[in-house]
Structure 1
Amino acid sequence: MAVPKRRTSRSNTRHRRAKWKASPPDLVPVVVNERTVRVPRRLVKAVQRGLVEPPSV
């Protein structure tokens, strides 16, 4: 049976949330159409294949 969650103190809540900070993605240089573009590591193959358009600067 579901039990209601207990109240967490404000201090504990903020301390817990402080660990959720996102880090910026590491950018990898990729050559596309004789141009070097920096893209997130998870999009490298998609950009090389032409499935995702590289960001324009």
Structure 2
Amino acid sequence: MAHPKRRISRSRRDKRRAQYNAKTKAPAVATCPVTGQSHHSHRAYWFEGSLYFKGRVVMTKEK
């Protein structure tokens, strides 16, 4: 039976598991009730020169 020579820390173990989950699972897509735009959930997104987050305008692009 294989035995590890050194103990693997929690952070190293969790980093490895996070990479596996990121590759296998598709990102969650949500639809904004205000703009109707589809975007990744829990992320801000640009729509017609404005940055939206949780259905609110966070920032507007200056020209």
Both structures adopt the same fold (TM-score exceeding 0.5) = no
Q: Give the TM-score, by structure 1 length.
A: 0.36
- Report the structure, 1 or 2, having the larger helix content: 1
Greater radius of gyration (CA):
1
The higher relative CO (CA closer than 8 Å, separation ≥ 6) is in 1
